[in-house]
Structure 1
Amino acid sequence: MSRIHILPLMSSRMKFWQRLIILCGSAFFTLFVYLMVSEESTWEDAHIKKARLVQSRLWPKKPNESFVLHKNQEMCNLQSWEQSQSRISTFDVYQRTEFNMNSDGSYEMATPPPDYPNNSENELDHLDVIIVPHSHNDPGWLKTVEEYYVDQTKHILTNMVNKLFEHPNMTFIWTETVFFSMWWNELDDDVKVHVRRLIRRGQLEIVLGGWVMPDEATTHYVSVIDQLLEGHQWLWENLGVKPKNSWSIDPFGYSGTMPYIWKKAGMENMVIQRVHQAVKNTLAETKSLEFWWRQMWDAKGSSDILCHVMPYMLYNIKFTCGPNRFHCLLFDFRHITNEASESRAKSINVNNIEQLATYLYEQYRKKSYLYKYNTILVPLGDDFRYDMEIEWDQQYINYQRLMDYMNNRKDWKINVRFGTLKDYFKVANKKNKKNILKHPNNGFPVLSGDFFPYSDQENAYWTGYYTTRPFDKTFSRDLQANIQAADILNTLAYAHLKKWGMNYREQFFQFSTLLLKARRALGLFLHHDAITGTAKEFVVVDYEQKLAEAYNNTQIIMKTAIQILASSGKLMTPLVFRPETIRPAHNEEPQKKVFKLVNTNVRVMLFNPLPQYRQEVVQFLVDSSMVIVKNEKFQIVPCQVNPIWQDQTTVSPSVFEVTFVVTLPPFGIVPFMLFKAEHLDLNNVFPSRISIYNRDELNVPKNVKFYIQRPEPKPVQPIVLENEHMRIEFDATKGMMTSVLDIETGNKTDISMEYFAYKSQGSGAYIFYPSPTDNTKVIYDIPVIRKISGPIYSKLEVAFNHYLKYSVTLYHVPTLQAQGIHIENHVDIRPLKDREFVMRFKTSIDNRDGSYFTDQNGFQLIRRKTNPNLRIEANYYPMTSMAMLEDRAQRFSILSAQSHGVAGLENGWLEVMLDRQLTYDDHRGLGEPVEDNKPVTSNFVLLLENRRGPNKHQNSHYALPSLLSVATNDFLQQPVVKYYSTIDSDIFHKTVSPVSLPLPCDISVVTFRSLATANFVHNGTSLILHRRGYDCDFPDVGLQCSVDNQQFSLQTLLKKFPISSIRETTLTHLYEKRKIDAKNTIEIPPMEIAAYHINW
C-alpha cells in the first residue's frame, strides 16, 4: 500500500553537497505532492473544470438547447389554482375536527336524540335497509395466500354457489380476483355455468375486481393500475363481468388518487370503512358520510364518484347494524361448535322475535340518522366468514324471519332485504335525484382530499406502516420498474418481429407466461397487509420469494427482447446477455456484477424505458482502473474512474467504478464497449481525487492511479461539493449538510441534515407510538468522511461504525442530474431495539403555518398541516415518491425512489422515517413484533428551486411539481436498464431507436403492454398515457424534452409499427369510448390519464 510518508532526519555525517541534493529533492517532492493534493491545484483546473472534456465532441452539450420549452398554456392556466368546487375539503375537516374520546377509548360519534326513533307513525320517513352478506379474504396476513385458500377461501366460494342456489333471495359480494381465479381454475365447467348464472341474476356481484384490495398509502399508481387491469381483464374473459362498484373496507386510510382510478376504470360508486373515527363524526354531523368524491384539481366534476363511508369502527357484524355494538352482537347468528365467538345471538323464534326485531329496528333507525336519504347499507360478514356451510343457513334463516316480521310492521315504515352494492346505490341514487328535483342544492355534498392518517381508537395512529419493512417496499418498487421495462421490450419485440415477418408465437407464449406470474406477484404484494409490512414474518418471507421469482422472470424477458431487437431478429438463441444487477436471494439487496476486463472485453446494452430522450451518468464495476469506454462508432467515451472501498480507509485493489455519460433515445437501446487499456490515457480516462477526513491514514494500492490528498484527521474548514449550479457545505466533523448556495443568484439556504431515532412506547407494525420527549441519538462515533472528486461527479461518503452509511453526490455534467443533490442511505438497525430511524432536514425556508405537501401514490400532491395539539404520530403522512415545502420564493423537494412516512413537525422541517425495529405487538391482530430487519438502501434527490415570481397560491390545498422534479422523478422510478455480454459480435453494434419522435416532457407511459388471452394468444396492446401537471413558475434548466404542444398523435410514438386499429377505452379496456386514427391528434387534459387498445 502507498501512503504519504515523512522523510527521515538527515544524518549529521552527510556532506554539504549530499545535503543539498536531498534538500532539492525534498523540495521537488513537496511541490509535486502539493500540486497533487491542493484544492486549488492544476489537476483541479484540468480535470474538475473539465477543460479538455468540454472541448471533446463526445462530451454532452446542454440538453435543452435543442428542445422547445414553451409552456403549455392550458397547463399554466391550471396554475390559476382553480380548486374543485367542493363543499368539503378534508384538509379543513381535519383542522376543525375535535378528537374527543369516550371513556372506553372510542372516539365520539354523532348520535340521534335519546327518544329517536319517535314512534309517531306520521313523523317517520320510509327506511330502506340493504343487507349485504360478504366475506373479507386477505390474500396473506396470518397465513400465506395459499394456506388461506386451502383452509378457508375455497370453501367459502364453493359454499357460495350451493347456498345462493338454495336461497334464491340471498346475495353475496366478492372482491379479491386473486382468490377467485385460484378457485376458478379448479372448477368443473358446469359449476362455472352456475356461477355466471348467479352473476346474471344479481345474487353475486363482483366489486372492485382488482387482483387484490390494495393498500392506498404506500402503493404507486402505476402498479395499482396494473393490478386493476389484470383483475378486470381476467373477470371479463372468464365471467363477462365489468365491475361498477368498489368495495375497499380494510386499507388503513384512503388516498384521493384511488377514486380517480376507479372512476377511470368505469366504476360509479364506492364503499370505504377505515376513516379516522373522529373525522367520521365531523362528517356525520352534517350527514356527509356519503358524498361525491372529486379530485382537487377538477373544476368541472368529471372525476366525481359517489362514496359511502361506513360509520362505525369496523366492518364486522358487531359494528354494522347500528351504534350499539352489544345489540349488534345479538344478530350475528354464526354458531360453530367449540369456536370462540363474541356473538350473543339466539335463533329467532315466535317467542323472541318481537323483542329482537325491535332492537334491530332501533339500531337501523339510529344508523339512518347519520345519512341523508333513509337508506342504509348493512354489511353482514367479517374476515373469512361463510367458510362453514351451516353459517349460510344460520344467517339466512334468522335474518329472513326478522325481515318478514319487520317488513310487515307497517308502523315502522321499513323495508329490509338482502342485496348487493348495486342494489344499495340504485336506491340511494334514486332518492338523491328525487330530492334534487325539490331542493337543487341539497344533494350529496362534494368532497375533495384524502383520509390520512387513520386512527380507530385510543389516539392510536396507524402511521407506522407507512415505513414498516422498507426492504420490501423498495423491492416492490424495483419490481414495478422491471415489469414496466419488460412490458415495453416485449411489446417492441412483438411489433418488430411481426413487421419483419418473423414468427414470435413461441417467445410470446413464454414471455406472456413469465409476465403473468410477475405482475400477479406484484399485484398480490399490493395487498393491504403485504406492502404495508403488516403480515406474519413467515408470510413476509413467502411474499419476498414471490417477488424474487418475479424479478428474475422479468430479467429473462428483458435480456431476450434486447437480444432480439439489437440483432434485428437475427440471433434469437443462444442468449448471450446477462443482467448487470441481480438479486441473489429474496432477503438480500441487489448486487452489481464486476466486469472482468483482464481477459475479455465487455459489451453493455442500455435500455431507456422512458418515452423521452435521456442524458444520464451511468456506472459499472470493473476489475481494473485501466479501462477504455467506446460507443457504437468505436469512439472513445470520456470516463471517470472511482475507488471502491475494502474498509473505511482502504481502497480495493481489484474492484473499481467506471462512470460515463450516455444519451439514450426514447425506448431506445444503445451499446457501449468496455476494454482493458494497456496504459492510462489521461485525455479520456480521469482517475478521481480522494480525500479523507477524521482519520489519519488513507491506504491506496501502489499499482492504482488515483490523485491522493493528504488525510485530515481533525478538519477545521467545511467540506464542499460544488458544480455550476450550487455549492454545498458540510460540517467537517459530523459529515452533515449545513447549507446550499445557489451559484446563479448568490442566495444561501440553510439545510441542516441529521439522523436520529424515536424511542418506541409500544409501536407495532401498524401503529407509530413514539416517546414525545426521547428523540434518541443513536450515532455517537465520529464518522469517516471520504470525498471523491472528478469531472463527471463528486461524492461525499460518510461512514459510521454502526447503523448508517450515506453518500451525497453532485454531478458536474450538463444533464438533468446536475440540478439535484443525490442522497443514498445504507441503514442497518438490527442492533437497535424499539427504535424508529429518521432522516431530518431543517431548512431556512419559511413555510409559515407549518404546511407542506406530500404526494399521493406518485400521482398528485396534497397539502398537509402539522397540528401542534396532536402528538408526533398524528402528524405523519405517507410519501410515495415526493414531499416538499415552500415559501413565497423557494421550494425544497425530496424525491424518493421508495415509500416512507414523512412529517414536517416545525416550520422549515421535513423528516423521512427510514426503518423501524419493534419488539412489541400493537394489538391489531398481527400478534407479533417486527424484528426481521434487513440492511436496506434508500435513494433520494433533493431539489432547491427558485420561483420566477411570488407564490400566489400558498393557501391552495394542492400543488403541482415543477417540470424539473417531474423529469427527475422519472429517472428515479424508471432507471436505465443495463445488460452485458462478453460475446464480441458486430451484430450488436447499432443503436435501436424504435420511436419516431419523443413524447412531451409531461406525458408518461404508464403501460405499454401486450395483452394475452387465457391461452396466451396475443390480444392487442394496452397503451396508457398520463399527462402530469406541472407548475409553470419554475425554471426548466436541464430538461431533455419539449412541452410546447398539448396535442400529439399516437403516430409520434408508433410510426414504425404496423398498426391495424386503435380504440380509446376506459382504464382497464372494458368499455370503448371511440375509434381513432393513429395520424389524428389526441388531446389529454392536464392531470388526466387516457387508455388505448391497439391491434397490430
Structure 2
Amino acid sequence: MKFWQRLIILCGSAFFTLFVYLMVSEESTWEDAHIKKARLVQSRLWPKKPNESFVLHKNQEMCNLQSWEQSQSRISTFDVYQRTEFNMNSDGSYEMATPPPDYPNNSENELDHLDVIIVPHSHNDPGWLKTVEEYYVDQTKHILTNMVNKLFEHPNMTFIWTETVFFSMWWNELDDDVKVHVRRLIRRGQLEIVLGGWVMPDEATTHYVSVIDQLLEGHQWLWENLGVKPKNSWSIDPFGYSGTMPYIWKKAGMENMVIQRVHQAVKNTLAETKSLEFWWRQMWDAKGSSDILCHVMPYMLYNIKFTCGPNRFHCLLFDFRHITNEASESRAKSINVNNIEQLATYLYEQYRKKSYLYKYNTILVPLGDDFRYDMEIEWDQQYINYQRLMDYMNNRKDWKINVRFGTLKDYFKVANKKNKKNILKHPNNGFPVLSGDFFPYSDQENAYWTGYYTTRPFDKTFSRDLQANIQAADILNTLAYAHLKKWGMNYREQFFQFSTLLLKARRALGLFLHHDAITGTAKEFVVVDYEQKLAEAYNNTQIIMKTAIQILASSGKLMTPLVFRPETIRPAHNEEPQKKVFKLVNTNVRVMLFNPLPQYRQEVVQFLVDSSMVIVKNEKFQIVPCQVNPIWQDQTTVSPSVFEVTFVVTLPPFGIVPFMLFKAEHLDLNNVFPSRISIYNRDELNVPKNVKFYIQRPEPKPVQPIVLENEHMRIEFDATKGMMTSVLDIETGNKTDISMEYFAYKSQGSGAYIFYPSPTDNTKVIYDIPVIRKISGPIYSKLEVAFNHYLKYSVTLYHVPTLQAQGIHIENHVDIRPLKDREFVMRFKTSIDNRDGSYFTDQNGFQLIRRKTNPNLRIEANYYPMTSMAMLEDRAQRFSILSAQSHGVAGLENGWLEVMLDRQLTYDDHRGLGEPVEDNKPVTSNFVLLLENRRGPNKHQNSHYALPSLLSVATNDFLQQPVVKYYSTIDSDIFHKTVSPVSLPLPCDISVVTFRSLATANFVHNGTSLILHRRGYDCDFPDVGLQCSVDNQQFSLQTLLKKFPISSIRETTLTHLYEKRKIDAKNTIEIPPMEIAAYHINW
C-alpha cells in the first residue's frame, strides 16, 4: 500500500473517531443546555424561591422546648432498660421480685389492711384464629348475652368490656328492653366500659392519626348508644407499650390505665422499688399536664393462672370453670366446708405476696381469659365459689383483708384514695413519675416479640394507604358539605351515602388496628378477611373523593353523572396498587390534584401515558414543562407504548388544581424534555426507533462511580453493585460515608411474633450483578437497580426547587417468596459518630425517643418499632430515615441504621397462632433519607427524646398524605379552575389530624370534628425549601375556615365527649408545642 493511501486511511479513521466523539459530546451538551433552559422555565413559574415567600422566624417556645432536656420524672424507661439484669429462672421465666418465702406469716412488721378488687373480664380478639364475624357468632355474642342475664342474677358481681366493635355488633341485634337493662347495669356500676375504642389497638406499628380515629369512632358510638364516657383504659394484650398512647388516652378524658405485656425483667426492676404503679408522663412535658395513672400487672399473662399471685399452680386452684369434655389447666374444685379453710389460706397468701409488689396494699385481680364466660355455667361457677371464698376471708379479722368484685373504677378509687392519704403524711412518697415506653417485649426464654414490627409488610402498607385515603375523603366530604350549605343546595342524600361509606371505611381500618391484625399475627385465612375489608374500604373512600371533587370543581353544578376516576386503583385485595395508563392517542385527559395538607405544597407528580409526544397545560392553558421517562418491558428494553410524564405542581391548602394532558403533533423540545438513559453492567440497551430518548452508550464493565447530583448534594454509587457509598454536601463540601446494603438474617425459629435470628449467619441472598439504569432529566434523576431475584430498588434525586430536592428518595420492590426462613434487611453504614450506639425512633408518628443498643443482648433484643421515622446524629450532623410504612429498625453499631423489609417464616413460634408466615406478597416500601447539618453544637445529646427538623416534619407530611389524583376524559371547561377553600395556610408545624363530618346513628349531620396537632421541631437545623410559615404560635380558626358559614365552635377533649370552652372563630387560639387540640364545629 502506497504512502498516500495509508495517509488517506489514517485521516479517515481520525475523522470518524472525531465525528463519533463530537456526536456524543454534542448530545451531552444538548441535554445540559436544555436542563438549564428547563430551570429557567421553572424559575418563571416560581419567580421567588420558596423561602422568600414565607416567614420562617422560629417559635421561641418551641426552641426552648429542647432546653428542658426531659420531663421531671423519677423514672425513665431508657435508664430502666440499661440497668435491668435479664436473669432467668430454671423454667425459662425471668426472675421476679418476690417477698420472703414465708411471707406473710412471718412478716417483721404488722400487716396493713389489704383491699382486693376482683375484676371479671373476657378478652375478645376481633380476629386472630377466627375472623371477627366467626368469633362473634361462636362466642362473643353469647358472652354479652350471658353478661346481661347473670349480672342481674348476681347483683354484686361485676364485669368490664373493651372492644366496641363487638359491642356494636351485639347491640344491633338487641330488643329495646334488653338495651334498657344494659344501660341500667352501667348506671349501677356492675358493668364498666373501659378504653372504649373500636378495638384494643397495637401500639408498635399503628400511626397516631388512625389510633385517634378509631378511638373517636368507639367513643362517639358509646356516647350515642349507652351514654358512656370511658374513664379507664384496659390494654392487656398488645405486645409492648408506646409512650404515645397514655397521652392520647389522657387527652380523650381517661384518668387511669392498666397494661400487662411489659418485659418481665423490666417488671422486676420496677417491682424492686414498688413502682409497678406510676404517673406516666410525656418526656417533653415539664408541667405534668399529661400525667395518667398506670397500673402494670406483675406476672406473665392476664389469665387466672397468672393473676392471683406469684404461684401459678396455686392460682390454677381458683379457676372454677369446668365444662364437660373441655381441655383445661385448671386444678380447681368447688369450694365447700371441708376445703374452704385450706383453699382460702392459699388464696390469702397469694394476695398478700402480690400486694408486696405495690405501694398501698390494694391489688387488682383480673378474673378471666380469652373469650371467657361464653357458657352460662361459668358465670355461676366463678361467682358462687368466689363468693364463698370472699365471705370466709372477709370474716377472718386476723387477716385484715377485704375481697370484693369490682371494676377498674372501683380499684382506682381505692388506690387513689390511699395515695392521697399517704401524700398528706409523706409529700414526696406518692406514686412515682415515669417517662418513656415499654419496647421491646419479652415474656420468657429470651424470646423477643420484635418480629411483628415487620411481619406481613404488604398489609401494614395497605393500612397506611387507607389511612391517607380516609383523611383525604373526610376533608373532601366536609368541604363539599360546607360549600353546598353555603350555596344553599341540598346535600342530604349525598351526606347519607358518604357517611355510610365512610363509616364502613373507618371501621374497617379501626378493626385492622387490632393487635393481632396490623401486627400480621393472625391466621392466614383471617388475614385474607382483613385484606378484603381494607380493599372494600379503599374503594369506598375513592367513591367519596371523586364525587366530592366533582362537586367542588363544578361549584355544585354537576352532581351526576360522575365523570372522575381514580388514577390509582387496587384491582384485588392481595395485589399492589396499579396506576392508570392514560390513552392520549384517542382523547385528552383532565387530571384533578387534591392537596390534603393545610399548607401549600410544591411537588413533582408523575403519570403514565401511552405516548412520549405529550403536552401538559395548567388551568390558564399555559404549557407546563415536563420530563418524559421510560417504562421498562424488561431489564434492558424500553416499552414502546407506556411512558412516564412528570412535572411540578403548586397546590394550595386543601386545594384542587386541574391540569390537562394532550398528545402533541410533534415533540416540543422547549417544554418537553425526554430523559437521558444510561445502562451499566449490560452491553445492550433496546429503545424503540420511534421513541425519542437521549441514549448513552452501555457500560458492561463500569469503572467510575455512578453519580446523582443536584444543587444540594452529590451521591456516589458503586458501579458494579449499584449501592450508595457516599453523599457530598455541595454547600459545605463535607462528605459523609453512607454505605447501603441488602441482606437477610437466617431464622433459628422466628415466627409471626418473635424475631430469633442466627447471630452469626447474616445471609447474602443477592449473588448476581444487577442491571443498573440511570434516568437523567431536568426535573429529576433516578438510579434503578434490578436484581434477577428478590429485589429491585430505585434512588431518586430531584432537581427542581421544591422540598423534595432536599432528600434522597428510595423505593424498594421486594419479593422474597422463593426464600425460606429469611428476614430481609436494608442497612446503612454511615460515618456519623453517634457516640454510644444511641439513636432515635418515632412512636406512632407522634414523637421521637432515644434507643441504645445493648451489646450484651442478642440482635432481636435491640430491635425497635419505627412507624414513620428513625435517625442518628453526632455533634454536627443528623441522618434521618423517613418511612411511608411501619418496620422494625435497629442501630447495632455506631453509625448504623437498618430497616427490616420483609420476613419469610416456616416456623410457628408457639405463641398461639399455630402456623408459620408463608403468604408473602411482592411489596413496595418508600423512604426518604435526609442528611442535615446542625448550625451549632448539639447541646441535647443526653436528652432521652429528640425533635425532628422542620424539613423532616414537612417531608414526612408529603409521605404520609400524598397528593390525591383523579382524572376524566370528559372535556368540559366547567372543571377548569382551581378550588382554594382555605383563606390562609396553617403554619408548618400545625397538622390537621382530623377534619371530618360527624353523623348520628341515622346519618344526620352532627357537626364537624377538627383536631389539630402542633408538632415539635428542632430549631438548630436550616429550613431550605420549606413552603410554609412558622412565625406565630397563635392563630385563629378563621385562618382555616373563613369561607365557611360557621355557627359555633367548642374546644373539647380528643373524642368530643367533654366540652372545655366555647370559642369565637376570630379569636386566636394557642396550642403549646407537641400538644393536640380538638374542636367541635357546627355550620
Normalising to structure 1: TM-score of the pair? 0.97
User: Shift of the alpha carbon at 1:44?
Assistant: 3.8
Counterpart Cα distance in 2 of 1:521 and 1:848: 44
CA contact (8 A) 2:718 2:724 kept: yes
CA contact (8 A) 2:38 2:671 kept: no
Name 1:4's counterpart in structure 2: none
User: Shift of the alpha carbon at 1:79?
Assistant: 1.8
Counterpart Cα distance in 2 of 1:238 and 1:73: 45
Counterpart Cα distance in 2 of 1:665 and 1:943: 25
1:256-302 C-alpha deviation (Å, 9 max, x unpaired): 00000000000000000000000000000000000000000000000
CA contact (8 A) 1:37 1:708 kept: no
Residues 1:903 and 2:890 are matched in the alignment: yes
1:144-159 superposed matches below 5 A: 144-159=131-146
Distance 1:60 1:720, change over 3 A: farther
Q: Secondary structure at the match of 2:414?
A: helix
Counterpart Cα distance in 2 of 1:783 and 1:973: 31
Counterpart Cα distance in 2 of 1:307 and 1:499: 47
Query: In terms of mean alpha carbon deviation, does 112-121 or 879-888 score higher?
Result: 112-121
Distance 1:39 1:1066, change over 3 A: farther
Counterpart Cα distance in 1 of 2:1073 and 2:564: 40
1:411-433 C-alpha deviation (Å, 9 max, x unpaired): 00000000000000000000000
1:507-557 C-alpha deviation (Å, 9 max, x unpaired): 000000000000000000000000000000000000000000000000000
User: Shift of the alpha carbon at 1:23?
Assistant: 9.6
1:844-993 superposed matches below 5 A: 844-993=831-980
CA contact (8 A) 1:834 1:918 kept: yes
User: Shift of the alpha carbon at 1:49?
Assistant: 3.5
User: Shift of the alpha carbon at 1:115?
Assistant: 2.0
Distance 1:880 1:644, change over 3 A: same
1:6-65 C-alpha deviation (Å, 9 max, x unpaired): xxxxxxxx9999999999998787666545645993124213344663476225742111
1:223-262 C-alpha deviation (Å, 9 max, x unpaired): 0000000000000000000000000000000000000000
Unaligned runs of 5+ in 2: none
CA contact (8 A) 2:275 2:431 kept: yes
CA contact (8 A) 1:35 1:43 kept: no
How many residue pairs get aligned? The number is: 1083
User: Shift of the alpha carbon at 1:83?
Assistant: 1.1
Distance 1:957 1:27, change over 3 A: same
Distance 1:936 1:415, change over 3 A: same
Distance 1:35 1:676, change over 3 A: farther
Counterpart Cα distance in 1 of 2:774 and 2:10: 32
Counterpart Cα distance in 2 of 1:694 and 1:121: 79
User: Shift of the alpha carbon at 1:848?
Assistant: 1.1
Distance 1:19 1:814, change over 3 A: farther
1:704-752 C-alpha deviation (Å, 9 max, x unpaired): 0000000000000000000000000000000000000000000000000
User: Shift of the alpha carbon at 1:934?
Assistant: 0.1
Name 2:575's counterpart in structure 1: 588
Distance 1:623 1:18, change over 3 A: farther
Distance 1:52 1:842, change over 3 A: closer
CA contact (8 A) 1:855 1:861 kept: yes
CA contact (8 A) 2:582 2:608 kept: yes
User: Shift of the alpha carbon at 1:114?
Assistant: 2.0
CA contact (8 A) 2:38 2:778 kept: no
Counterpart Cα distance in 1 of 2:522 and 2:42: 57
CA contact (8 A) 1:901 1:912 kept: yes
Name 2:371's counterpart in structure 1: 384
Unaligned runs of 5+ in 1: 1-13
User: Shift of the alpha carbon at 1:119?
Assistant: 5.9
Residues 1:326 and 2:317 are matched in the alignment: no
Distance 1:348 1:66, change over 3 A: same
Residues 1:838 and 2:825 are matched in the alignment: yes
Distance 1:52 1:915, change over 3 A: closer
Distance 1:676 1:30, change over 3 A: farther
CA contact (8 A) 1:603 1:671 kept: yes
CA contact (8 A) 2:282 2:435 kept: yes
CA contact (8 A) 1:249 1:271 kept: yes
Counterpart Cα distance in 1 of 2:12 and 2:593: 50
Identity of aligned residues (%): 100
1:318-374 C-alpha deviation (Å, 9 max, x unpaired): 000000000000000000000000000000000000000000000000000000000
Distance 1:411 1:557, change over 3 A: same
Counterpart Cα distance in 2 of 1:27 and 1:1080: 79
1:377-396 C-alpha deviation (Å, 9 max, x unpaired): 00000000000000000000
Counterpart Cα distance in 2 of 1:208 and 1:999: 32
Counterpart Cα distance in 2 of 1:827 and 1:154: 41
Counterpart Cα distance in 1 of 2:129 and 2:856: 36
Q: Secondary structure at the match of 1:781?
A: coil
1:661-699 C-alpha deviation (Å, 9 max, x unpaired): 000000000000000000000000000000000000000
Counterpart Cα distance in 1 of 2:700 and 2:109: 89
CA contact (8 A) 1:58 1:638 kept: no
Counterpart Cα distance in 2 of 1:249 and 1:34: 72
CA contact (8 A) 1:82 1:299 kept: no
1:606-644 C-alpha deviation (Å, 9 max, x unpaired): 000000000000000000000000000000000000000
Query: In terms of mean alpha carbon deviation, does 649-658 or 62-71 score higher?
Result: 62-71
CA contact (8 A) 1:618 1:660 kept: yes
1:189-241 C-alpha deviation (Å, 9 max, x unpaired): 00000000000000000000000000000000000000000000000000000
Q: Secondary structure at the match of 2:174?
A: coil
User: Shift of the alpha carbon at 1:81?
Assistant: 3.3
Q: Secondary structure at the match of 2:109?
A: helix
User: Shift of the alpha carbon at 1:451?
Assistant: 0.1
User: Shift of the alpha carbon at 1:99?
Assistant: 0.2
Counterpart Cα distance in 1 of 2:5 and 2:1028: 67
Q: Secondary structure at the match of 2:415?
A: helix
1:544-577 C-alpha deviation (Å, 9 max, x unpaired): 0000000000000000000000000000000000
CA contact (8 A) 2:42 2:625 kept: no
Distance 1:783 1:759, change over 3 A: same
User: Shift of the alpha carbon at 1:1017?
Assistant: 0.1
Counterpart Cα distance in 1 of 2:646 and 2:743: 33
Normalising to structure 2: TM-score of the pair? 0.99
CA contact (8 A) 1:754 1:840 kept: yes
Counterpart Cα distance in 2 of 1:899 and 1:346: 48
Residues 1:246 and 2:233 are matched in the alignment: yes
Q: Secondary structure at the match of 1:895?
A: strand
1:572-619 C-alpha deviation (Å, 9 max, x unpaired): 000000000000000000000000000100000000000000000000
Q: Secondary structure at the match of 1:757?
A: strand
Distance 1:1076 1:805, change over 3 A: same
Distance 1:615 1:391, change over 3 A: same
CA contact (8 A) 2:69 2:944 kept: no
Distance 1:674 1:368, change over 3 A: same
Name 1:485's counterpart in structure 2: 472
Distance 1:581 1:223, change over 3 A: same
Q: Secondary structure at the match of 1:825?
A: strand
CA contact (8 A) 1:46 1:52 kept: no
CA contact (8 A) 2:27 2:694 kept: no
Counterpart Cα distance in 1 of 2:533 and 2:817: 24
CA contact (8 A) 2:117 2:406 kept: yes
Distance 1:623 1:801, change over 3 A: same
Q: Secondary structure at the match of 1:888?
A: coil
User: Shift of the alpha carbon at 1:861?
Assistant: 0.1
RMSD across aligned positions (CA): 1.6
Distance 1:563 1:26, change over 3 A: farther
CA contact (8 A) 1:91 1:864 kept: yes
Counterpart Cα distance in 1 of 2:627 and 2:499: 40
Counterpart Cα distance in 1 of 2:674 and 2:548: 35
Distance 1:155 1:746, change over 3 A: same
Distance 1:15 1:238, change over 3 A: farther
CA contact (8 A) 2:1050 2:1060 kept: yes
1:837-860 C-alpha deviation (Å, 9 max, x unpaired): 000000000001000000000000
